[in-house]
Structures are given as structure tokens and as C-alpha cells.
Amino acid sequence: MPFGPAMTGDLVYLDHNATAPLRPGAAEAMRAALAVVGNPSSVHGHGRRARRWIEDAREAVAALLAVPPAWVVFTGGGSEANGLALSGLGDGPRLCSAVEHDSVLRWVPEDGRLPVDALGVIDLEALGRALAKAPGPGLLSLMWANNETGVVQPVAEAAARARAAGWRVHCDAVQGPGRLSPLDMAALGVDLLSLSAHKLGGPAGVGALIVADGVTLAPLVRGGGQERGRRAGTENLVGIAGFGAAAEAVRAGGAAESARLAALRDRLEAGLRASCPVAAIHGAGAARLPNTTCVGLPDTAPTADIQVMRLDLAGVSVGAGSACSSGKVAPSHVLRAMGLTEAAARRALRFSLGWSSTPADVERVLAAWAALAP
């Protein structure tokens, strides 16, 4: 019998930034991998067959970012990949933006968190000042795109400034694949880059840190010599197989998928504003992911958690802040860093589309919204 309730009925899922539905190709690859017997580190035939699955997936993930397969280090998810990057370069100073994911913020002291403007874009002049007064070279971590607002950061420009000062640069790119195109690590100019399989239609519990040549990392998980000594533990073969298949699907979608998502998002935002003219689109005016809308309502409206529940009762799943922080009483640190009041930050909903989203989904959401909007 199943371990949880089945989801039935005509439901709409617009919370892809929290986790994307499993792609059919990823599910097929995982079913096939379940039949594979053997530890990928064993030298006998069964082990070599298992190893081939791992390496094929590594090649698929590498191709997604136009990097050599040897740069791909499989991890237990995006948060672990971020932790490996932030912890693995020694004890030098750390800088990041104030709107990073919690898995980055936990490694950076308060005085190393750089301000953003009202759109949520990092203050590059503040970055320059921080680099100039730092006691020595360290690591800058800057996300490619924000999980709550979809705002895209000027990673290449920030990385150029940091690298000119002798710093290493890490990019949390978890929200990029399947939404931004092209995906090119060299164009970003970073040394390390994090990915998460379940954000792009693969399974949860597997991710990757892309590590450029010349970067030496101390492992976060120690023990065996797996992943070239950078991440100990027998590899999650089934999850990695699904990750590889999802990466191939994202690569095939390319710019056409980004354009499709942008058209759906624009229709969604136009409909939201038509029903509620006072609604604010947080981050509008900045470069944003084509799939993400963060909408805020006035102080007279219910808080986001109540709005989420009301939409859920109407058969629509959306997000409020970061799913990794669900259950927190505090308002979004991202919106607070952008200058919103605490009350406004508590009244923001996130609609995030993805590979499974359709025009019909958007119309269903707008119908539900029209019935609930103040």
C-alpha cells in the first residue's frame, strides 16, 4: 500500500520553484536503474555496469552547462552542494548577497551579506567596497536567480570584480536550468556552481556541484574516495540516473521552453493585475526568470499562508516564500532585504511555472484568484 495519500482530481500545480513534477524521462530512467545491481565503486562486471550509469548521467549534467564531465561532483542535493562550496575552500572571508538561500546564508556572517536594491539586485558598488576592505582573498557566493522573486543577478559582472581581486566565485544556479537559456558556466565566469535535480524535473535528494579546474575543495562528507575524493559515500545511482535524464530534457528544451514559460507568466501577471489592480509584482523591472511571479497584496489582505490555503481549497497549489523555510513565522528575508515592510513581506505569494504548466493551468489559477482577490 502507498505511504501517503494519492493526489486526485483536477488540480493545478504552480509551485515549480519549490519542486518540479518528475519528468517522464526521468521516471523511466529511474525505473531502469532500479534493476541495476552492483556498487559503482566495484571493479567486477556488475560494478562497471553501475558505474556506466553514473558516468552517462555525469556527461548529461556536464553538457547542460558546457563543462567537462570531470567537473561534476554529485551530491545529496542543492543545499549540500552549496555547503560543500562554502565550506571547502578554507577559512578565508565569505561574501554573499542578502537574498541568498538559507543554505548559503548559514555559512556567511552578517557583515558579509551585501545589500540589494528595491528590485532585489545586488549592489555592485557595495561589493567593490567589501572586496577592497577584506583581509584577504576569499569566496563570493551569488545566486543566479532568486527562488522567491525570480530576479536574475548580474553574476558575470560580480564575478569579474571578485576574480580581479583574487577571489573565488560560487553561483547557486539551482533555479536556472529549464528557465534560463543558454546555460553556460564559462559565460558566468564562476569557479563553482550548484544544481539540484528536483528543481528541473528530476528526483529530490540528488544535486551536483560543478568544480572548475584548479579549485581544490576539502570534502564536506568524508569517508571513501567517491567523486574523486570530494564527496564520500556510495552514489545514489537511481537518483543520479533520473538527474541525468532530466538534464537531457532541459537541454533539449532550450530557448523555446524559456519563451513558452515567459508567455505563460506574462498572461498570468496581466490577469492577476486585472482582478486586483493594487497587486504589486515584486522584482518587476529587473531581469527575471520567465517562470516566476511574486505578487504582493496590501495590508488589508489576508497573510500569504491564508491565501495559499484558500487557493489550495480551490485546487491550486502555489508558494509563499521558500519551501525550504516552510513553517517559519518570520517574513521573507528576501522581501525584507528589498525594503518591504514586515506586513508587506507577509502578504506575498509566489506563482512558479515549469515544464508541466499549460495555458489551461494559468486560466484556472486566474479564475480562482478572481474569486479570492480583495
Looking up residue 189, the CATH number of its domain turns out to be 3.40.640.10
194 three-class SS: strand
Last residue of a domain, one of 199, 227, 250: 250
Q: How far apart are CA 282 and CA 272, in angstroms?
A: 13
Is 175:199 a contact under the CB 8 Å cutoff? yes
Model confidence over 147-197: pLDDT tens digits?
Answer: 999 999 999 999 999 999 999 999 999 999 999 988 999 999 999 999 999
The rounded mean pLDDT for the chain is 93
Domain match, 89 and 229 both: yes
Q: Are residues 311 and 199 in the same domain?
A: no
Asked if 318 and 226 sit in the same domain, the reply is no
Query: What confidence category does residue 2 fall into, taking pLDDT thresholds of 50, 70 and 90?
Result: very low
* Residue 227 domain flag: yes
In sign, the C-alpha dihedral spanning 23, 27, 32, 36 is: positive
User: Are 188 and 86 in the same domain?
Assistant: yes
Are residue 131 and residue 145 in the same domain, yes or no? yes
Q: Which of 96, 171, 294, 324 is catalytic?
A: 324
| Domains: count for the chain | 2
Task: Please confirm, yes or no, whether 294 is among the known catalytic residues.
Answer: no
Does residue 55 fall inside a structural domain? yes
- Nearest in space to 296 (alpha carbons), one of 261, 345, 250, 247: 345
Task: Evaluate whether residue 182 is within a structural domain.
Answer: yes
Report the pLDDT value the prediction gives residue 303, as an integer from 0 to 100.
Answer: 87
In this structure, the answer to whether residues 213 and 326 fall within a common structural domain is no
Over 105-146, what HEC string results? HCCCCHHHEECECCCCCECHHHHHHHHHHCCCCCEEECCCEC
Range of lowest pLDDT (11-15, 231-235, 321-325): 321-325
Q: Is the pLDDT of residue 1 over 50?
A: no
Sequence letter at residue 325: S
Q: Are residues 134 and 64 in the same domain?
A: yes
User: CATH number of the domain that 260 lies in?
Assistant: 3.90.1150.10
Of 195, 221, 250, which marks where a domain is finished? 250
> Over pLDDT 70: what percentage of the chain?
94
- One domain for residues 279 and 216: no
Model pLDDT, residue 4: 44
Q: What pLDDT is recorded for position 3?
A: 43
Residue 120 lies inside a defined structural domain of this protein? yes
**Contact call for residues 221 and 233 (beta carbons, < 8 A):** yes
At residue 7 the predicted structure's pLDDT band, cuts being 50, 70 and 90, is very low
Domain encompassing residue 165:
24-250
Average pLDDT over residues 242-267: 97
Distances (CA, A) of 81 to 36, 38, 149, 161, 258: 26, 25, 22, 24, 25
| Residue that the C-alpha cell 504552480 belongs to | 14
Tell me, yes or no, whether 96 and 211 share the same domain: yes
Looking at the structure, tell me whether residues 236 and 261 fall in a common domain. no
Judgement on whether residues 170 and 262 belong to the same structural domain of the protein? no
**Is the domain of 152 the same as that of 30?**
yes
- At 224, the pLDDT band (50, 70, 90 cuts) reads confident
pLDDT, tens digit, 9 for 90 and up, residues 290-311: 999 999 988 888 888 899 999 9
Do the domain assignments include residue 7?
A: no
- pLDDT band, very low/low/confident/very high, at 6 (cuts 50, 70, 90): very low
**DSSP letter assigned to residue 75:** E
pLDDT grade for 322, boundaries at 50, 70 and 90: low
pLDDT for the residue 24: 98
Question: Is 1 inside a domain boundary?
Answer: no
The answer to whether residue 362 sits within a structural domain is yes
3 located within any domain: no
Q: Give the end of a domain, one of 198, 230, 250.
A: 250
